[in-house]
């Protein structure tokens, strides 16, 4: 088994936006008969909103990564250096969506837990998401494979406190 060096991370737009563009696409299809140009534009914009994805591609030989937006098989984004990222770590993330009623009562509509694999800087202050998994065992296995491929250690996440944070903590004591 080998590590995946090209990962789709998420859709560009949130679910509610994508669902509304399904309706706009249907309206665009109907509108083709009456106003072909407006209908065609609505369909094209809807296709982009519904199908565009964000991803990250790694090139260990050149020590670079590309954060990209993928649409219709085309990956658009510029290559950047991996020099400042020294370690790999796994973080648990909860992603949820909320809805508000007219009375401004908040309710959680969906919630998911992910185990994200990050490249982190030496002080763990700067992070780069490279892979997302819903299972911890799968994330750990993938992180170990990525650590070998990128020649970086898999470490626990332990960000160093900045001088300003240390001074604030000292004042509180």
Q: Is the pLDDT of residue 88 over 90?
A: yes
Same domain flag for 123 and 161? yes
Q: Check whether 14 has a pLDDT greater than 90.
A: no
Poorest-pLDDT segment among 22-31, 44-53, 101-110, 153-162 = 101-110
* Residue 125 shares a structural domain with residue 154: yes
CA nearest 11: which of 44, 46, 53?
53
Q: Note the pLDDT of residue 3.
A: 57
Alpha-carbon distances, residue 146 vs 8, 19, 131 (angstroms): 15, 35, 10
> Residue 137 above 70 pLDDT?
yes
The residues that bridge with 71 in the sheet, in sequence order, are 74
Residue that wins the pLDDT comparison between 166 and 142: 142
Provide the CATH number for the domain around residue 95: 3.30.730
60 and 113 share one domain: no
Question: Are 56 and 127 contained in the same domain?
Answer: no
117, pLDDT greater than 80: yes
Check whether residue 2 and residue 68 sit in a common domain.
yes
Please give the Cα distance from 103 to 95 (Å, whole number): 24
Domain identity same for 75 and 91: no
Q: Are residues 88 and 76 in the same domain?
A: no
Are residues 89 and 57 part of one domain? no
Instruction: Indicate whether 65 and 6 sit together in one domain.
Output: yes
Domain of residue 34, residue span: 1-81
- Coil/strand/helix, residue 54: strand
Mean pLDDT of the region 146-157: 92
| Number of residues written out for the chain | 173
Distance CA 137, CA 68 (A): 27
Query: Do residues 26 and 93 both lie within one domain?
Result: no
Residue 158: both structure tokens together: 């332990």
Residue 91 burial by Cβ neighbours in a 10 Å radius (0-12, 13-18, 19+): middle
Rounded Cα distance between 60 and 147, Å, is: 11
The number of distinct structural domains making up the chain is: 2
pLDDT class of 1 with cuts at 50, 70, 90? very low
Q: What would the pLDDT profile of 16-61 be if each residue is shown by its tens digit?
A: 899 999 999 999 999 998 999 999 999 999 999 999 999 999 998 8
Please indicate, yes or no, whether residues 88 and 153 belong to a single structural domain of this protein: yes
Q: Are 132 and 114 in contact (CB under 8 A)?
A: yes
In this predicted structure, what is the pLDDT of residue 91? 94
- Say which residue the tokens 């001074």 belong to: 167
Q: Is the confidence at residue 108, as pLDDT, over 80?
A: no
């Amino acid at each position: 088994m080998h590590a995946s060096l090209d990962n789709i991370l998420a859709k560009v737009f949130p679910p509610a936006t994508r669902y509304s563009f399904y309706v706009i696409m249907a309206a665009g299809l109907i509108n083709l008969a009456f106003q072909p140009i407006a209908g065609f534009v609505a369909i094209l914009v809807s296709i982009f909103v519904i199908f565009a994805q964000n991803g990250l591609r790694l090139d260990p030989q050149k020590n670079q990564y590309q954060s990209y937006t993928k649409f219709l098989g085309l990956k658009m984004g510029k290559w950047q250096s991996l020099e400042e990222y020294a370690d790999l770590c796994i973080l648990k993330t909860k992603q949820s969506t909320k809805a508000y009623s007219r009375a401004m009562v908040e309710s959680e509509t969906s919630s998911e837990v992910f185990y994200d694999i990050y490249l982190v800087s030496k002080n763990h202050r700067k992070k780069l998401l490279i892979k997302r998994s819903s299972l911890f065992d799968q994330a750990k296995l993938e992180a170990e494979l990525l650590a070998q491929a990128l020649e970086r250690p898999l470490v626990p996440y332990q960000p160093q406190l900045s001088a300003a944070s240390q001074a604030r903590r000292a004042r509180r004591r």
